[in-house]
Structure 1
């Protein structure tokens, strides 16, 4: 079996990376962070014009119909360039949730079409997240009431803003009243929708964390090559080399875990949730290590506003507890690997189908 990415998938990743490199320079990100909304309508429009808001929308609704594997590549680029936008929440998590709604929901097709062209920002209030990202700037909020899924217009929600260490994270605590008019799913269907949304949100965080780790490693390597001590670049010192090598190793070990989880989600495998939890833990560990060693390479100045490292470091810290904290995902993983008859070992990475 061939598990390498296709040429089209790699071309897609490279095209997204080139686009974000020109559209999301650190200087632009700082100006967006310091604005009242923390969002750039111009950047959002350019993302939509590139078709990035349409990735998960079915083709018959004006989208590209791409799967979770494509998002595993996409979210890494969003993390690498620290995009200050809720693109993954709307175009991946919310789009998947809306697409799975019963066809008799009147506004379902309209919402999908609006997501595809970038005309709507959707915030997802999953029960695992006490605060809702982009609740204040959303046009529509998908909120939970027990097992029920409610689609609530922004005008019907009160939002109390909550500060984050990462200025690009615009969080809010929401207050609202569920009604029959806003309910779009309940019972077993609602539980399944929220479970799927949790897996997609978790995978999106894992991909961004891996992208952040890559960016922080690149920044540390660049700084180590330029900063001199005792007449030599600090990157020539063995202790610094070991720090950076540890980060590079963590990143390489996290990549296959992320891709295996994306494959499991894309193919609806029964153990997908466990693999997604594993991916988040591995990718966030790599991001934490990259942040810690990046600071050690930069020194205390790495915390300052003027240095780019702090932007990516704060994003990694903030995302670490999003879509389930470490305790939550370690519990899911422990239940699977400690279960009687657990399929463990290299021979069980991909099960052979009869």
Structure 2
């Protein structure tokens, strides 16, 4: 069994990394923080030109028809750059939810998925488990509802109240709206299944971003450790500083396996995909939180200041640690599987396939 990414996936990742490195710089992030919307129509158009807005849209609606194993590497790069645009919520959470609607909603699906693929529309997903909706102010369509209903609501039909985030790059809103038969697109068991799938994709996207953020914070700390000198030597030459970064590097490498397995599990509809997502979410969050802690130790207190780039990525990591289920929720899911459901563990079961 081959667990490596293919040349096309790696090449696409390289292209996205190069684009984001050049276009989503720390200086641009600060500019967006200071703007009214915090978002850039120009940048969104560039993402569309790169093909990213067509990523998860089915081919019949003008998309690329890719799955979770294709976009997990790209989500990492979005995290590494702390991309503020709602690309992941629109494409990796919202678009598959729309695509999974039944044939009774085919007209709605065709209209919005074609617009999304072309970069002419953005989605916001108000999952019932998330109290606030990210990027509702720039969304053309909002997917809202309770656990038993999914509603597709145009932006003009909602009222928004801004809520300040720890990370100024995240724009969060309380959404007031009136459910109606005209906005209802799924109910009952279908709605619960749609929200469950959206939650797993959202948690996986969050985990991938956290892993990218961990790598970015390590890179910043390493660069700083070679510039900052004490006793006539770069602080990066001191063993204690090396150990701080080495400890994070180990967690980053250990988190990659669970993350990529979770992506494959979702793509293949594995029976234990939710557990794999929770393991990935926990592993990536642990790496990101330790990266933030140790990078601050390398920088000293100045790492918190506005002028230092580290705070851009540290605040994003702290914010993402609390969305699409916090660590307590994902630990609880794994604990129930291990101690109440008797989940088989160990090397002999790692790659076992469920019986058909």
Short-chain TM bin: over 0.9
Once residues 346 and 157 of structure 1 are traced to their aligned partners in structure 2, the CA distance between those partners, rounded to angstroms, is 50
TM-score (norm 2): 0.98
SS at match of 1:235: helix
Q: Deviations over 1:90-139 (max 9, x none)?
A: 01100110000112213111111011011111100001111000112211
Once residues 314 and 275 of structure 1 are traced to their aligned partners in structure 2, the CA distance between those partners, rounded to angstroms, is 26
Once residues 151 and 281 of structure 1 are traced to their aligned partners in structure 2, the CA distance between those partners, rounded to angstroms, is 31
Once residues 352 and 289 of structure 1 are traced to their aligned partners in structure 2, the CA distance between those partners, rounded to angstroms, is 33
Residues 169-318 of structure 1: pairs in structure 2 closer than 5 A: 169-318=170-319
How far has the Cα of 1:146 moved from its partner? 3.7
Within the alignment, does 1:34 sit opposite 2:34 as a pair?
A: yes
- What's 1:44 paired with? 44
Once residues 277 and 16 of structure 1 are traced to their aligned partners in structure 2, the CA distance between those partners, rounded to angstroms, is 26
How far has the Cα of 1:352 moved from its partner? 4.7
Once residues 327 and 353 of structure 1 are traced to their aligned partners in structure 2, the CA distance between those partners, rounded to angstroms, is 27
How far has the Cα of 1:42 moved from its partner? 0.4
Once residues 240 and 100 of structure 1 are traced to their aligned partners in structure 2, the CA distance between those partners, rounded to angstroms, is 49
Task: Name the stretch that deviates more: 250-259 or 325-334.
Answer: 325-334
How far has the Cα of 1:294 moved from its partner? 0.4
- What's 2:80 paired with? 80
Once residues 353 and 25 of structure 2 are traced to their aligned partners in structure 1, the CA distance between those partners, rounded to angstroms, is 45
TM-score (norm 1): 0.98
Once residues 16 and 52 of structure 1 are traced to their aligned partners in structure 2, the CA distance between those partners, rounded to angstroms, is 9
Task: Name the stretch that deviates more: 19-28 or 87-96.
Answer: 19-28
Q: Deviations over 1:214-249 (max 9, x none)?
A: 000000010111110000110111110110000100
Once residues 238 and 132 of structure 2 are traced to their aligned partners in structure 1, the CA distance between those partners, rounded to angstroms, is 44
How far has the Cα of 1:306 moved from its partner? 0.9
- What's 2:158 paired with? 157
- Indicate if the aligned counterparts of 2:271 and 2:354 stay in contact, CA closer than 8 A: no
How far has the Cα of 1:340 moved from its partner? 4.3
Within the alignment, does 1:132 sit opposite 2:133 as a pair?
A: yes
Once residues 103 and 212 of structure 1 are traced to their aligned partners in structure 2, the CA distance between those partners, rounded to angstroms, is 39
Coordinate RMSD, CA, aligned: 1.0
SS at match of 1:338: helix
